[in-house]
């Protein structure tokens, strides 16, 4: 159940519901692209360092993706006819 159902005042109507921007994923996308390019260019090389760097970039990109997804999933933004409500967090839910 959404947080907004608990805090709406009588007669208050939700006009818009939003979320964080997709650009939150941009660092992960760049790092994944760098990792894939590194893997493609160094695959089959005598020294495996390039492959290890590519794999490390992909692992870090995955962690950044999960982190961005979590932040986007735990953030709610609502505009009502009386106020703007911004709620974020999962365990420590904060509302502004």
CA distance 83 to 96: 10
Q: Kindly state the average pLDDT of the residues 61-78.
A: 91
The pLDDT, as a whole number, for residue 45 is: 76
- Give domain limits for the chain: 13-90
For 38-67, write each residue's pLDDT tens digit.
998 888 777 788 888 999 999 999 999 999
Helix (H) or strand (E) holding 70: helix 49-73
């Amino acid at each position: 159940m959404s947080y907004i159902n608990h805090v709406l005042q009588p007669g208050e109507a939700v006009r818009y519901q939003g979320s964080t921007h997709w650009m939150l994923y941009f660092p992960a996308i760049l790092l994944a692209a760098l990792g894939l390019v590194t893997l493609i260019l160094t695959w089959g090389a005598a020294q495996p360092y390039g492959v290890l760097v590519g794999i490390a970039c992909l692992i870090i990109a995955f962690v950044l993706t999960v982190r961005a997804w979590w932040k986007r999933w735990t953030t709610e933004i609502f505009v009502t006819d009386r106020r703007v409500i911004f709620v974020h967090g999962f365990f420590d839910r904060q509302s502004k």
